[in-house]
Structure 1
Amino acid sequence: MKDADFVDLGVLPCSLDGGVAARAAIGLVVLGIDQTMELEFRRLMPLDGVGLYASRVFCDNEITPETLRAIGPRIAPGTELIMPGQHLDVVAFGCTSATMTLGEEAVFAEIHKVRPGIACTTPVTAALAAFKALGARRIGVLTPYEPAVNEIVRRYLDSRGVHVAAFGTWNKVQDPEAARISLDSVEDGVARLAEAAQLDAVFVSCTSIRLSERVEAIEARAGLPVTSSDHAMAWHCLRLAGVNDAVPGAGRLFGVTLEGTAAG
Structure 2
Amino acid sequence: MPGGPVFRRYPASYDDGPASVARVGLIALASDHTAESELRSLVERPGVALYTTRIANDPVVTPQSLRAMEAGLTDAAARLLPGVEFDVIAYGCTSASTVIGEDVVADRVRAAKPGVAIATPIGAARAALAALGARSVAVLTPYTDDVNVRIHGHLVDHGITVTAFGSFHDANDNSVARIDAGSIAAAARALAAAAGTEAVFISCTSIRFAAQVPALEATLGLPVITSNTGLAWSILRQAGVDEPEPDKGRLFALPYPDPAP
Q: TM-score range by the shorter chain?
A: over 0.9
Quote how far apart the aligned CAs of 1:247 are. Answer: 2.7
Q: Where does residue 139 of structure 1 map in the other structure?
A: 137
Q: Where does residue 174 of structure 2 map in the other structure?
A: 176
Over residues 58-81 of structure 1, what are the superposed CA-to-partner deviations in whole Å (9 max), with x where a residue is unaligned? 111211111111111111110110
Over residues 146-178 of structure 1, what are the superposed CA-to-partner deviations in whole Å (9 max), with x where a residue is unaligned? 011101111111112211111111100111111
> Is contact 1:43–1:212 with CA below 8 Å preserved after alignment?
no
Q: Which amino acid aligns with 2:79?
A: L
Gapped regions of structure 1 (runs ≥ 5): 3-7
Is residue 252 of structure 1 aligned with residue 250 of structure 2? yes
Counterpart selection for 1:26 from 9, 24, 31: 24
Over residues 65-124 of structure 1, what are the superposed CA-to-partner deviations in whole Å (9 max), with x where a residue is unaligned? 111111111111101100110120011111111111111111111111111221101001
CA distance in 2, matches of 1:259, 1:174: 34
> Is contact 2:119–2:231 with CA below 8 Å preserved after alignment?
yes
SS at match of 1:28: strand
Q: Does the C-alpha gap of structure 1 residues 70 and 167 become closer, same or farther in structure 2, counting only changes over 3 Å?
A: same
Where do residues 1-264 of structure 1 align in structure 2 (5 Å cutoff)? Answer: 10-247=8-245, 249-259=247-257
SS at match of 1:114: coil
Q: Give the total of aligned pairs.
A: 255
CA distance in 2, matches of 1:29, 1:43: 16
What is the identity percentage for the equivalent residue pairs of Structure 1 and Structure 2?
42
Quote how far apart the aligned CAs of 1:45 are. Answer: 2.1
CA distance in 2, matches of 1:70, 1:46: 30
CA distance in 2, matches of 1:46, 1:64: 32
Quote how far apart the aligned CAs of 1:205 are. Answer: 0.6
CA distance in 2, matches of 1:223, 1:100: 29
Q: Where does residue 5 of structure 1 map in the other structure?
A: none
CA distance in 1, matches of 2:33, 2:86: 24
SS at match of 1:239: helix
Over residues 119-158 of structure 1, what are the superposed CA-to-partner deviations in whole Å (9 max), with x where a residue is unaligned? 1010011111111111111111100000111011111111
> Is contact 1:44–1:247 with CA below 8 Å preserved after alignment?
no
Quote how far apart the aligned CAs of 1:259 are. Answer: 3.4
Q: Which amino acid aligns with 2:122?
A: V
CA distance in 2, matches of 1:11, 1:224: 61
